Amino acid sequence: MSLLTTASVLASPAAPGSPGPGLADFGHDPVWISIIKGLVIFVFLLLGVLFGVWLERKLISRMQHRYGPNRAGKFGLLQTVADGLKMGLKEDLMPRKVDKVIFFLAPVIISVPAILAYSVIPMGPVVSMFGHKTPLQLTDMPVAVLFILAMSSIGVYGIVLAGWASKSPYAILGGLRSSAQVVSYEIAMGLSFVAVFLYAGTLSTSEIVAKQADGGTATLFGLDIPLPSWYAILLIPSFLIYVMTMFGEVNRVPFDLPEGEGELVAGYHTEYSSSLKFAMFQLAEYVNVFVVSGVAVTLFLGGWRAPWPISLWDGANVGWLPLLWFFAKIVLIFCFFVWVRASLPRVRYDQLMAFGWKVLIPLNLAWILLVATFRALRVEQSTPVFILMAIVVIGALAVFFRFDTVQQRRREARAEQIEEEFEQLREEPTAGGFPVPPLDLPHYHGANRKEVPSA
Amino acid sequence: MRDYQGVDGYFGSYAVVAVLLAIGAAIFAGALLINRLLRPDRPTEAKLTTYECGVDPVGDGWAQSQVRYYVFTYLYVVFAVDAVFLFPWATVFAAPGYGMTTLVEMFVFLAFIALGIVYAWRKRVLTWT
């Protein structure tokens, strides 16, 4: 219902100052324009992977005080191209035990949906392409965000099937772990979108971007205060939760358990030597990073629209220029991924799952309740809504304090236990254990022997 | 201008996705085909054994793993359905004619879902040993 009304409001093609294309602007492209856009998405993503890998290696090596790739091409720019060529020309080993068909299909199943998800990411307003007015977005649908979630769920099949078909214990463990992780974080991710839908009133990506054009004003004590237009600021808890789930969803540091090489060799793609199929897994991983970055930009960071000081200029959001804002935002988020990778250690598996299920999901549900009541308050200001809001707030606070006290008690108990252990170790240092090894190991001279200085 | 909710427009957007799917499948199939034509192929007995961690594999390929992973799959299904119900609710929520009743209904629904996660929690499904 609301979809219909918003669509008819936005039906006129974008003039300067209008919020941009909506659902009604799609579905008019001739086939050849669709094919051009599809190919451009492919080229953009493949080039993005090539130079994304280079950027990541370069950036992370700078953060670790080394040079990174600098041999192939200027600044090592062609390093990934060279690696890709090598992988394309290498002998491809298919171990004798594997399930051949599925082993072959898994890399395709994982990489194609990753790319498909990009078809609904808006990259710009309506432009004139070869004399044809068309939005810079392949397609849009009333359930576009759900489509993105669906595509990332299909990617999980690729992970599970790759692990299962490999017939190797490490691969199957990696596959199971990875899928459990991805589905857990996908729930939290889906829930963090709900607040955005509550505010935008639609699941269509182009219209969510249009809704972020203008935050509107709030009247407080007779003053009109302009509200921030990006949902990242308006719904900051949702955004923070999304940022965390983003890392879990694409198996990146600090949640890169599936590739915990100390435990699982390389996880689900252990048996894919370094062939083209392995390259496809890498490609899918990076494309998934671009997809979650694109979703972050679209749903929370104003999409292709210019950031605030630039958006004051009328020409900032028309024509082809918004492509620049879109790419700049994507690159910044990608750099954030690299920064996190350089800074954080990998978490343990139990920590990862506990964080996802016991923190992110309950927090998300409580936040949705709060936002929903707040929205209801703005729609109809009646006493029952106020009462409901009070109940929600009090309930959420009660649950929070209950958790807090339980956590605090546990933390104290653990600290006490550790203190006790230290006490015991201090009494008899030869007993050994953490953190000191026993002092009377055979290669030691015993605790009583005095060290003779050499000088 | 065609109405996007007409059959053409609505399924048109999915047709475009299908076109992209076809392009994607074609590109990857083509890449794998070219790879097959260009790469050398000299398998030996040692090359064709499962790699695992570099040591000769012992026993059958698959390892037994915890049944816990299936519990997570069930929980995922529960919550995915929950999310799918939440999405349309979130879009029509602010429209006239909904409001208070819709809000309370969804709260009741979420309470049931939350009961599910609390149950799993109490049953120590979410705890690792």
Instruction: For residue range A53-70, list pLDDT tens digits in order.
Output: 999 999 999 999 999 888
Asked if B33 has any chain A CB less than 8 Å from its own CB, the reply is no
Beta bridge partners of A129: A132
Does one domain contain both B129 and B77? yes
pLDDT at position A6, please? 39
| Residue B60 belongs to a domain | no
Q: How far is A170 from chain B (nearest CA, A)?
A: 6
| Residue B114 belongs to a domain | yes
As a whole number, the mean pLDDT across chain A is 81
Q: How many Å apart are CA B90 and CA B101, to the nearest integer?
A: 13
Residue that finishes a domain, picked among B11, B30, B55: B55
Q: How far is B11 from chain A (nearest CA, A)?
A: 9
Q: Which domain holds residue B92?
A: 65-129
Query: How would residue A335 be classed by pLDDT, with cut points 50, 70 and 90?
Result: very high
Summarize the confidence of residues A158-169 as an average pLDDT. 85
ipTM of the complex as predicted? 0.83
From chain A, pick out residues whose CB is under 8 angstroms from the CB of B42: 91
Does the structure show a pLDDT above 70 at A282?
yes
What residues contact A84, with CB distance under 8 A and at least 6 apart?
A: A50, A279
Q: How far is B65 from chain A (nearest CA, A)?
A: 7
Phi-psi region of A130 (alpha: psi -120 to 50; beta: other; left: phi over 0): left
Asked if B63 has any chain A CB less than 8 Å from its own CB, the reply is yes
| Higher per-residue pLDDT: A340 or A432 | A340
What residues contact B79, with CB distance under 8 A and at least 6 apart?
A: A187, A190, A191, A361, B113, B117
From chain B, pick out residues whose CB is under 8 angstroms from the CB of A162: none
| Residue B39 belongs to a domain | yes
Does one domain contain both B15 and B49? yes
pTM of the model: 0.83
Does one domain contain both B69 and B111? yes
Q: How far is A321 from chain B (nearest CA, A)?
A: 25
Rg (chain B; Cα; Å)? 26
Q: Which of A31, A33, A97, A238 to mutate to test the interface with B (most CBs of B within 10 A)?
A: A97
Does the structure show a pLDDT above 50 at A219?
yes
Query: Is B16–A38 a contact, with Cβ atoms under 8 angstroms apart?
Result: yes
Query: How would residue A328 be classed by pLDDT, with cut points 50, 70 and 90?
Result: very high
Q: What total of structural domains would you count in chain B?
A: 2
Q: How far is B74 from chain A (nearest CA, A)?
A: 10
From chain B, pick out residues whose CB is under 8 angstroms from the CB of A88: 31, 34-35, 38-39
Beta bridge partners of A218: A225
Q: How many Å apart are CA B30 and CA A327, to the nearest integer?
A: 29
pLDDT at position A339, please? 93
Q: How many Å apart are CA A414 and CA A420, to the nearest integer?
A: 10
Does one domain contain both B125 and B91? yes
| Residue B113 · residue A194 · CB < 8 Å | no
Q: How far is A191 from chain B (nearest CA, A)?
A: 6
pLDDT at position A11, please? 38
Does one domain contain both B44 and B89? no
Phi-psi region of A210 (alpha: psi -120 to 50; beta: other; left: phi over 0): alpha
Strand, helix or coil for residue A204:
coil
Query: Is A276–B128 a contact, with Cβ atoms under 8 angstroms apart?
Result: no
pLDDT at position B3, please? 43
Task: Mean pLDDT check: name the lowest of A204-208, A262-266, A291-295, A310-314.
Answer: A262-266
Does one domain contain both B42 and B71? no
Q: How many Å apart are CA A145 and CA A141, to the nearest integer?
A: 9
Task: Mean pLDDT check: name the lowest of A89-98, A384-393, B61-70.
Answer: B61-70
Under 8 Å CB pairs connecting chains A and B tally to 244
Does the structure show a pLDDT above 60 at A322?
yes
Does one domain contain both B46 and B85? no
| Residue B86 belongs to a domain | yes
The neighbour count for residue A260, using CB atoms within 10 Å, is: 16
B75, B71, B61, B24: which is closest to A110 by C-alpha?
B24
Q: What kind and span of H or E run contains A58? A: helix A31-63
From chain B, pick out residues whose CB is under 8 angstroms from the CB of A97: 50, 61
Does one domain contain both B47 and B8? yes
Does one domain contain both B34 and B75? no
Angle at A306 between CA A141 and CA A58, to 5 degrees: 95
Q: How many Å apart are CA A164 and CA A97, to the nearest integer?
A: 12
pLDDT at position A360, please? 87
From chain A, pick out residues whose CB is under 8 angstroms from the CB of B27: 42
pLDDT at position A437, please? 59
Query: Is B100–A368 a contact, with Cβ atoms under 8 angstroms apart?
Result: no
Q: How many Å apart are CA B122 and CA B129, to the nearest integer?
A: 15
Does one domain contain both B87 and B41? no
| Residue A181 · residue A278 · CB < 8 Å | no
| Helices and strands, number each (H, E), in chain A | 16, 4
Does the structure show a pLDDT above 90 at A330?
yes
From chain B, pick out residues whose CB is under 8 angstroms from the CB of A148: none
Residue that finishes a domain, picked among B29, B55, B81: B55
Summarize the confidence of residues A42-49 as an average pLDDT. 90
The neighbour count for residue B59, using CB atoms within 10 Å, is: 7
Give the largest Cα separation in chain B, rounded: 72
pLDDT at position A304, please? 86
In degrees and rounded to multiples of 5, residue A431 shows phi and psi of -65, -25
Query: Is A111–B28 a contact, with Cβ atoms under 8 angstroms apart?
Result: yes
Does the structure show a pLDDT above 50 at A376?
yes
Tens digit of each residue's pLDDT (9 = 90 or more) over A416-454: 998 887 787 777 666 655 555 555 555 555 555 555 666
Q: What count of residues does chain A have?
A: 455
Asked if B115 has any chain A CB less than 8 Å from its own CB, the reply is no
DSSP 8-state code for residue A360:
I
Tokens of B20: 């992209």
Query: How would residue A165 be classed by pLDDT, with cut points 50, 70 and 90?
Result: confident
Give the largest Cα separation in chain A, rounded: 91
